[in-house]
Structure formats: C-alpha cells, structure tokens
Amino acid sequence: EVMGKIDSELWGEEHATAITKNDKEVMETGKPHTFYEKVIIKEEERFFVTIKMPLKDTDNKIIGVIGNSIDVTELEYAKRKAEEN
C-alpha cells in the first residue's frame, strides 16, 4: 500500500511538512535525532516517537534517512486526560 508514495500521500500535507523537515535535519547534520511526530492514520490522530539516522552508501555519502517509530498515542491521550484533572 505504501510503496512508491511520498509523505504527503501517506500523512497529509500538514504532517508531511513536519516529517520532511525532520528528515532534512538528519540528512544535513549527518547525526541521529529523536522526534515527536503526529500523523493522521485512517482519520485518527496518532503520535510517534521516531528515532532517525542518516542512511549512507558504500562511499559513506548520505543518501536518505532510516528510522524506527514507536506509537505513543495511548500515552499521549492518558497524559492529556491527566492534565484535565
């Protein structure tokens, strides 16, 4: 379902802009970074902690970004509920 799609096709323009900005930061600095990212999946707001690292070719040139995301949506909603009380 996701092969060949760009961020805006997957997450919508607003969220894709933030994700792309984060990816560019990793590519420009060449350093890993952790981000808190929000996206819409099947019309539901979801929250992720994402660790991104530069992806390098055999010549050590940065050619992209690789990362791992952890869904923290339930934690975010629990935090919001606690703050309301």
pLDDT tier, 3 (very low <50, low <70, confident <90, very high otherwise): confident
pLDDT at 10 over 90: no
In angstroms, how far apart are the furthest CA atoms of the chain?
A: 54
Phi-psi region of 4 (alpha: psi -120 to 50; beta: other; left: phi over 0): left
In this structure, what token pair is assigned to residue 5? Answer: 């799609």
Encoded tokens for 76: 């975010």
Q: Is the dihedral of CA 54, 56, 62, 65 positive or negative?
A: negative
Q: Strands 44-56 and 62-71: what pairing?
A: antiparallel
pTM of the model: 0.80
